[in-house]
């Protein structure tokens, strides 16, 4: 039970830090944090992180499908990457709208 609570806390902290960086710093830095934090945890503490990522939360279909912390990490990655891509797309789209609206402004003829 305590590893489940620890997993929830670690993932909420990871998601919170990524979203904070996304809002306050930039989307590129948030994407780098999203990839580098789990990678660095595996490189720095391989045995501990392997044990953490392979912890089994539940079994589905009579034990054929395992849900581990690694699956939860993939879910968090998919959700956060979709938010990052959506943010980048909206930023690009709004910049395009501003450029096209500034080109279409009426300029009175000079005398």
In a domain, 105, yes or no: no
- Domain contains 85: yes
Residues in a beta bridge with 56: 68
Place of tokens 């054929």: 64
Q: Which two tokens stand for residue 49?
A: 């992180």
- The pLDDT of residue 31 is 92
Q: Is 107 a domain residue?
A: no
pLDDT of residue 74: 92
The answer to whether residue 21 is domain-embedded is yes
Residue 111 has pLDDT above 70, yes or no: no
- Please state the domain count of the chain: 1
Is 28 inside any structural domain? Answer: yes
- 110 within a domain of the structure (yes/no): no
Q: Which two tokens stand for residue 30?
A: 């948030």
Residue range 56-71: mean pLDDT, rounded? 87
Residue 90 lies in a domain: yes
- Digit-coded pLDDT (tens) for 20-60: 999 999 999 999 999 999 999 999 999 999 888 888 888 88
User: Alpha-carbon dihedral of residues 21, 27, 29, 32, nearest 10 degrees?
Assistant: 110
11 class by beta-carbon count within 10 Å (0-12 exposed, 13-18 middle, 19+ buried) = middle
Read off the pLDDT band of 75 (50, 70, 90): very high
Position 104 pLDDT exceeds 80: no
| pTM beyond cutoff 0.85 | no
Candidate ranges 3-7, 82-86, 100-104; pick with highest mean pLDDT: 82-86
Does residue 106 lie within any of the structural domains? Answer: no
Q: Which residue segment(s) compose the domain that 17 sits in?
A: 2-100
| Residues, the chain | 111
The predicted pLDDT at position 42 comes to 92
């Amino acid at each position: 039970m305590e590893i489940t609570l620890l997993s929830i806390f670690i993932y909420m902290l990871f998601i919170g830090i990524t979203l904070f960086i996304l809002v306050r710093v930039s989307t590129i830095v948030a994407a780098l944090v999203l990839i580098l934090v789990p990678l660095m945890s595996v490189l720095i503490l391989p045995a501990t992180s392997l044990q953490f990522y392979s912890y089994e939360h539940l079994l589905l279909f009579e034990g054929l499908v395992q849900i581990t912390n690694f699956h939860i990490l993939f879910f968090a990655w998919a959700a956060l990457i979709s938010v990052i891509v959506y943010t980048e797309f909206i930023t690009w789209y709004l910049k395009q709208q501003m450029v096209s609206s500034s080109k279409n402004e009426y300029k009175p003829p000079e005398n």
